[in-house]
Structure 1
Amino acid sequence: MARFHPLAVAAVEHLTDDSVALTFAVPPALRAEYRHAAGQHLALRRSVDGTEVRRTYSICSPAPAPADEGPRTLTVGVRLVDGGAFSTYALKEIAVGHELEVMTPAGRFTLEPAPGLYAAVVGGSGITPVLSIVTTLLTREPQARFCLLRSDRTSASTMFLEEVADLKDRFPDRFQLVTVLSREEQQAGLPSGRLDQERLAALLPALLPVDRVAGWFLCGPFGLVQGAERALRELGVARTRIHEEIFHVDAGTAPTPATPAPAHSTVTARLDGRGGTWAVQDGESLLDAVLRNRPDAPYACKGGVCGTCRAFLVSGEVRMDRNFALEPEETDAGYVLACQSHPATEQVELDFDR
């Protein structure tokens, strides 16, 4: 069960004019709880004018080795969002010694180190979880190789530029790096411009044997991830080999409800071994109904992107407005995003513990 703990900020590194890396010190008593897989994320929370604000940021530091007790530090990358309540605070106010409420790691955009060829297509801050994945994989598995295709606006806006260059120096024979800048010409390498579906479908087979890649990791803005997935499917890559994490989705993507909600609905939820049944108010998501009675229910973005509120649908039917976090295999197995789910039957039962 995900829980928040206060962690002290051990380091603050400004990566670009609009991004920062925050490193948290993990005390010995909490290291087991903060053990994470490469690619997972943390939810951070603070109170703004009496309102709780939560934001999710991917861990960029490598995962601890199996024999380790857990991480001594955790580092996340934060990029400034226009008007962002948390990102503005992170870039302008957070300093070494501050304490932040940090949720234990979550997320399924992960890779367990294994031999083989892997690849990623990332845009902007989408490099953050992939940096952890690549570093962990190449450090722990000598028979693994990785190809990283990253897209950024300019070299000055590129997060973790030195860290990725260091990987290239450490693993020159096993790490292939290709950079595309959308708003700046490079002296060498690929021409500038956006990485859309058509360009990726032509570019990827020229970079590596697409059919031999064991796992593809797509991370960044919705348009890039969607275009990369379509390009890979066009190239014959099986859906099960494609893993996605979206960092930003434009507003207005929620569909119009296909069926009206029941006049009176209840949700039964099991959470941390305890259950309860509560009424769902008109227009309310199942997560909000649970939160009114169980404030410890897990969530972070409430936008259908991070997947923190994932729950198993035990009975009943729901309508999900948006889903940018669950894989098709998960929805087929019965999992839903509680923050985006509304009752389509009078009774709905969720299990957050599965």
Structure 2
Amino acid sequence: MFHPLRVSEVDRLTDDAVAVTFDVPPELRETFRHTPGQHIAVRRAAPAGANGNNGGGAEDGEDGIRGEVRRTYSICAPAGPEPALRVGIRLVEGGEFSTYALKELAVGDTVEVMEPTGRFVLEPRPGHFAAVVGGSGITPVLSIAATLLAREPDARFCLVRSDRSVASTMFLEEVADLKDRWPDRFQLVTAVSREEQQAGLGSGRLDRERLTRLLPALLPVEDIDGWFLCGPLGLVAGAERALRGLGVRRDRIHQEIFHVDEALAGAPAAAAAQDLADATLTATLDGRSGSWPVRDGESLLETVLRARADAPYACKGGVCGTCRAFLVSGEVRMDRNFALEPEETAAGYVLACQSHPATGEVELDFDR
């Protein structure tokens, strides 16, 4: 469900990024209380003549059914008893909402915001944790690290971050503050890909080979209690392969993709598959069920949206995971999946925006 929230602050972070803070009224404090690492979806009416992009995840998408632009942004503020709803927004070329946020959004404006969701999270607990992030991938990890260090005195955190340049680095001051407040428990390693820096790593991308050499020199890699990888697909995929090669168990690696480069993603896995004719979808959402025929070529999410405008979604690119649903019966094929962990797909969860019927009858449950 979306709620209209007033913008209380718009802070310029870099030339192409801002942090936006929303006022949360007392009656919605429980609704917007978040777990560190979660994100929110925002929406606004699509400008006249806008051409939405329903793929790629990081691009803003327009829902052709209702003429809306939706986008997900991770919460960067620490979690606490009084929910602070602050997100980081980086300008995406052609992105409808990010362009609006950087060029038009102002204090006092109202934005429709969905309650926090997402499973890229860490509940504070004792242990040694680490993250490898790229660009705006710092946003959820900033909330995770700040909350963990403030709440759990027996926890440590190592942040390895990569950016194009120092000038393009988001949340420089906030990360520096973590280092100042917890110098013995917070370790920071920085790398820039397009310029030399006086401190930190030499210039260059943090690819699989470089991380394979770097991480064991920084940490007892196999003993880390949780790894959090966030950023573009290339960085996250390379970091996962490096960690797996270093002996890290799969269940200790958590991922969130912020941008999918089409050249890296490749064609949809089942693009050549023929959609099943005359399939019927039954779906349960907010305790109400309905059945509808699936039109040729449409995803199961699009089928539900024809009858239920409240169906959850944001990116439509298989990245944010907002449309996650449990497959009760039948079979589906997913074009892409950059949001669900292997454990989730094994348990029966699918992304409705990427799913197409592979049997004549399919049933989804969005409430599980």
Calculate the TM-score normalised by the size of structure 2. 0.93
Q: Does 1:56 align with 2:103?
A: no
Are positions 1:295 and 2:293 aligned together? no
* Matched residue, 1:318: 332
Aligned equivalents of 1:140, 1:62: Cα separation in 2 = 10
Distance in 1, Cα, partners of 2:96 & 2:357: 31
SS of the residue 2:42 aligns to: strand
Q: Judge conservation of contact 1:260–1:344 (CA < 8 Å) in 2.
A: no
CA contact 2:324–2:351 (8 Å) conserved in 1: yes
Q: CA deviation at 1:212?
A: 1.1
- Deviation for aligned residue 1:188: 2.2
Q: CA deviation at 1:256?
A: 3.6
Paired with 1:346 and 1:296, the residues of 2 have a C-alpha distance of 25
Aligned to 1:336: 350
2: CA distance, partners of 1:211 / 1:272 = 41
Matches within 5 A, 1:227-306: 227-251=238-262, 252-257=266-271, 259-306=273-320
Cα RMSD of the aligned pairs, angstroms, is 0.9
Structure 2, unaligned runs of 5 or more: 49-66
2:203 to 192, 198, 209: 192
Q: Once the two structures are superposed, what CA deviation does each residue of 1:191-242 show, in whole Å capped at 9, x if it has no partner?
A: 1100000000010000011011000000000000000000000000000000
**Residue of structure 2 in register with 1:46 after alignment:** 44
The residue aligned with 2:56 is none
Letter in 2 for 1:238: R
Find runs of 4+ consecutive structure 1 residues off by over 4 angstroms. Answer: none
Residues 261 and 345, structure 1, Cα contact 8 Å, conserved in 2: no
How far off its partner does 1:83 sit? 1.1
Query: What is the distance in 2 between the residues matched to 1:165 and 1:229?
Result: 26
Which digits, 9 at most, give the CA deviation of each residue in 1:39-58, with x for residues without a partner? 00000000113620000000
Percent identity among equivalent residues? 74
Query: How far is 1:189 from its partner?
Result: 2.2
Question: How far did residue 345 of structure 1 move?
Answer: 0.5
CA distance in structure 2 between the aligned counterparts of 1:48 and 1:302, rounded to whole angstroms: 16
Return the alpha-carbon distance in structure 2 between the equivalents of residues 256 and 315 of structure 1: 20
Query: What does residue range 113-152 of structure 1 map to in structure 2 within 5 Å?
Result: 113-152=124-163
Cα distance in structure 2, aligned partners of 1:201 and 1:253: 28
Instruction: Indicate the residue corresponding to 1:172 in structure 2.
Output: 183
Q: Contact 2:229/2:255 (CA < 8 Å) preserved in 1? A: yes
Alignment of 1:220 with 2:218, yes or no, is no
Name the CA distance, whole Å, in 2 between partners of 1:48 and 1:259: 32
Between the aligned partners of 1:30 and 1:48, the Cα distance in structure 2 is: 26
Q: Does 1:13 align with 2:11?
A: yes
Output the CA distance in 1 between the equivalents of 2:202 and 2:166.
14
Distance in 2 separating the partners of 1:234 and 1:204: 12
Higher relative contact order (CA 8 A, sep 6+): 2
Counterpart AA for 1:109: F
Aligned length: 347
Distance 1:282 1:210 in 2: 48
Counterpart CA distance in 2 for 1:203 and 1:347 is 50
Is 1:32 aligned to residue 46 of structure 2? no
Query: More displaced, 188-197 or 22-31?
Result: 188-197
- Is 1:95 the counterpart of 2:95? The answer is no
> Which residue matches 2:89?
78
User: Does the aligned pair in 2 maintain the 1:221–1:249 contact within 8 Å?
Assistant: yes
* 2:270/2:334 contact within 8 Å kept: no
- Contact conserved, 1:38 with 1:62, CA < 8 A, in 2? yes
SS at match of 1:139: helix
1:75 aligned counterpart, secondary structure: strand
SS for the counterpart of 1:42 is strand
Deviations 1:117-159 (A, max 9, x none): 0000000000000000000000000000000000001100000
The DSSP-based 3-state class of the residue aligned with 2:225 is strand
1:255: Cα distance to partner?
2.0
Cα distance in 2 between the residues matched to 1:49 and 1:192: 40
Question: What amino acid is the match of 1:81?
Answer: V
